[in-house]
Structure 1
Amino acid sequence: MGHLSTHVLDLMHGCPAAGMRVTLQAMGEDGAPRTIRTLTLNADGRADGGPLLNAETMAVGCYRLVFSVAKYFSERGVALPQPAFLDEVPIDFGIADVAGHYHVPLLVSPWAYSTYRGS
């Protein structure tokens, strides 16, 4: 059964990014995003309540996860320049197989980020 999940690790502090806000959007054929869900990551840097999309809600298409990086680090007491180098980090990706497991992890600091298709 297909599903979409995410996990965020704070590389500056060496811990999960508990409290980071994440928005999941579906990208329309016209390129306009439609917000599906906004959530706050739990103590493990993951979404509470299971996957972001599950077998019933997965659909072939283009999606975007938007991670509120500057707000997260600012709330952790990190002194950031204004404007912050990284504010919101959008990751655009496609779902081609609704039976597949799509995991989109984010490794992030105030100055850099990395992602990949996880397992």
Structure 2
Amino acid sequence: MSHPYLLLKSFSVAIHTARFNCYRASIGKIRRTLYHRFYPVLLVNPNGNCYSIRFREPRKIIQLPLDPMTLSDEERRERLSQRKGVKQKMDQQDTIDDSFNSDRYNFLWKLTPEK
């Protein structure tokens, strides 16, 4: 027969349960099979709230887009016009170069006599 203290000690280890509470995430490590590199990033909501998150790309700030359904019709039209932009007309004027002289290129199409 084994010693009762050793039996009690082995039994207490077997029934130990992990306590999952609010302090576990701040004290314990992140348990993952693959440890990817994450960078601290500031996430900005459209209403101005800021959160610090971990992101897979090294960025300083990520700003979430504004929901167009929450805007009034006038603000929505204004934002769409800003997004489309103003197209400028291109005034192209054909400039004809009158200083072309074909005699300068005669050597290109003259055949040299074969020997």
Please state which band the TM-score falls in when normalised by the shorter chain.
Answer: under 0.3
Greater RCO (CA < 8 Å, at least 6 residues apart): 1
Query: What's the TM-score once normalised by structure 2's chain length?
Result: 0.22
Structure number having the greater helix percentage: 2
Which structure's residues are more often strand, by fraction?
Answer: 1
